Amino acid sequence: MSAGPRSRELYARACQIMPAGVSSPVRAFGSVGGQPLFYDHAAGCRFTDADGREFVDYVGSWGPLILGHAHPAVVEAVTAAAAAGTSFGAPCARELELAELVISAVPFLEMVRFVSSGTEAVMSAVRLARGVTGRDAIVKFTGCYHGHADYLLVAAGSGLATFGTPSSAGVPASSAAHTLVLPLADEAAFRKLMAERGGEVAAVVIEGVPANNGLLPQTPAFVAALRDECDRHGAMLILDEVITGFRLGPDGAAGLYGVVPDLATYGKVIGGGLPVGAYGGRREHMERLAPLGPVYQAGTLSGNPVAMAAGAAALRELLADDGRAWRRLDELGERLERGLREVFVRRGVPWSVVRRGSILWLALQEGPPPVAAEGIDPEAAGRYARLHAALLERGIYLAPSAYEVMFVSTAHDEAAIDQTVAAFSDAIRAIEW
């Protein structure tokens, strides 16, 4: 299904005044063909596009909508907050409420600071780590995305560890000169790098579960090695939980792996659908931030009262009934995973489904699912593009990129999951592979 006439009309207008007609590259349909659908309205797990066609949504605003679109509690909280003032640029009780909810749910957090995006959260956490340690170098991993700060937009070079080279035009090579890049799932390479250069490293940063280049879960042993080497060399471990924080449970990937990072970053879910980011850690580190300490970070709209209200409403729903929502999410994710696996077997395609809780990814290739970006079959993108188009014809909306994940919400009931599985079966049957 291509975009309908109204979506095509809107897209043509958008392309005249916005680069590629979108405000973020991933929203374009370049890698799957066709033109983007324009949303009109949404509720629960479904949205209606500008042409009046309804879809089951597995993008969910790229992860924040863990309760589904327009959840009544979130809408009510946002409405009340907006009526009392949409922005203050000053402290407010709603900001304190969300901070208390976050800290009470995550055992190792003692203090947090709010920002307005995940990019800001990671950028600020790295600056803080550099300020605490007095060092410049950071270690990141291929396949992990931490926002679009210059020094994090780097890719691996030809060796196991290289100085980062920019992967975007407009990023000076000097801005990435202190970024060291390693492959995921290679403990030996990481320990070797730290043995040689650990004294230069301010921070090691990794996504809780790498989910921006496929879903690439790491072993607890690998994550434990990161913690071990950071301790040995006086570096700080930054766990980027922008996607996984409050998505995998109250303590996110940190709880999944049983690791305590020095700093953690959050976004997505804690905003309840509005732009919110945060970073936090132990008091001794967070008190190095201005105005208490020498590490400067600021944001005019940080702690926005409407966004704080949305985030607090979402977290209260998740934390109610002893975390029943996360158990429900896992049940729904498991139902979808099981159904898709059965379809792949029945249709004779050698694909697999990777899942962590309510996050799923389609590994459209033979063999075991990859655990590092280097293991992803480049031919999988073409398979995904054909599948994506066929699913749109059947009312199922996936991200317009083979490397993005699917998000299940509490609004995805059994009927929506079963509709999705049936659509996959029909789509695969209809496509020539």
pLDDT of 170 strictly over 90: no
Q: Could you report the per-residue pLDDT of 192-222, keeping only the tens digit for each?
A: 999 999 999 999 999 999 999 999 999 999 9
Q: Is 403 a catalytic residue?
A: no
Q: Is 397 a catalytic residue?
A: no
Average pLDDT for the chain? 94
Q: What are phi and psi of 164, to 5 degrees?
A: -65, 145
pLDDT category of residue 320 using cuts at 50, 70 and 90: very high
pLDDT category of residue 166 using cuts at 50, 70 and 90: low
Q: Could you report the per-residue pLDDT of 9-25, keeping only the tens digit for each?
A: 999 999 999 999 999 88
SS3 content of the chain, % helix, strand, coil (to 5): 45, 15, 40
Provide CATH 3.40.640.10 ranges for the chain.
72-317
The whole-number pLDDT of residue 376 equals 95
pLDDT of 163 strictly over 50: no
Q: From residue 335, how far is each of 102, 191, 338, 415 by CA, in Å?
A: 29, 39, 5, 11
Say if CB 70 and CB 279 are below 8 A apart.
Answer: no
* Token pair 């655990």: residue: 371
Neighbours of 248 (CB within 10 A): 24
Report d(CA 356, CA 58) in Å as an integer.
15
Q: What DSSP string describes 172-224?
A: -GGGGTTEEEE-TT-HHHHHHHHHHHGGGEEEEEEESS--SSS--PPPHHHHH
Q: Is 140 a catalytic residue?
A: no
pLDDT category of residue 177 using cuts at 50, 70 and 90: confident
Q: Which of 49, 57, 186, 240 is catalytic?
A: 240
pLDDT of 165 strictly over 80: no
Averaged pLDDT for residues 116-140: 97
pLDDT category of residue 175 using cuts at 50, 70 and 90: confident
pLDDT of 432 strictly over 80: no
The whole-number pLDDT of residue 158 equals 27
Q: Which of 11, 58, 145, 279 is catalytic?
A: 145
The whole-number pLDDT of residue 241 equals 98
Q: Could you report the per-residue pLDDT of 232-286, keeping only the tens digit for each?
A: 999 999 999 999 999 999 999 999 999 999 999 999 999 999 999 999 999 999 9
Q: Collapsing DSSP states into helix, strand and coil, what is residue 426?
A: helix
Give the DSSP H/E element, type plus range, for residue 48: strand 46-49
Say if CB 311 and CB 276 are below 8 A apart.
Answer: yes
pLDDT of 1 strictly over 70: no
pLDDT of 86 strictly over 60: yes
Closest CA to 77 of 94, 60, 93: 94
Report d(CA 110, CA 96) in Å as an integer.
13
pLDDT category of residue 176 using cuts at 50, 70 and 90: confident
pLDDT of 353 strictly over 60: yes
Averaged pLDDT for residues 166-181: 78
At the fourth CATH level, the homologous superfamily of domain 5-70+322-430 is Aspartate Aminotransferase, domain 1 (3.90.1150.10)
Cis link prior to 220 (omega < 30° from 0)? no
Min mean pLDDT across 137-151, 331-345, 407-421 is at 137-151
Which one is predicted more confidently, 270 or 28? Answer: 270
The whole-number pLDDT of residue 26 equals 87
Report d(CA 410, CA 246) in Å as an integer.
13
Q: Which of 186, 268, 279, 397 is catalytic?
A: 268
Give the DSSP H/E element, type plus range, for residue 416: helix 414-430
Report d(CA 357, CA 214) in Å as an integer.
15
Task: Indicate the fold that domain 72-317 takes in CATH.
Answer: Aspartate Aminotransferase; domain 2 (3.40.640)
The whole-number pLDDT of residue 173 equals 75
Report d(CA 383, CA 431) in Å as an integer.
10
Cα atoms in the 13 Å half-sphere on the side-chain side of 192: 11
Averaged pLDDT for residues 304-316: 98
Report d(CA 320, CA 42) in Å as an integer.
24
Q: What are phi and psi of 416, to 5 degrees?
A: -65, -40
The whole-number pLDDT of residue 155 equals 53
pLDDT category of residue 171 using cuts at 50, 70 and 90: confident
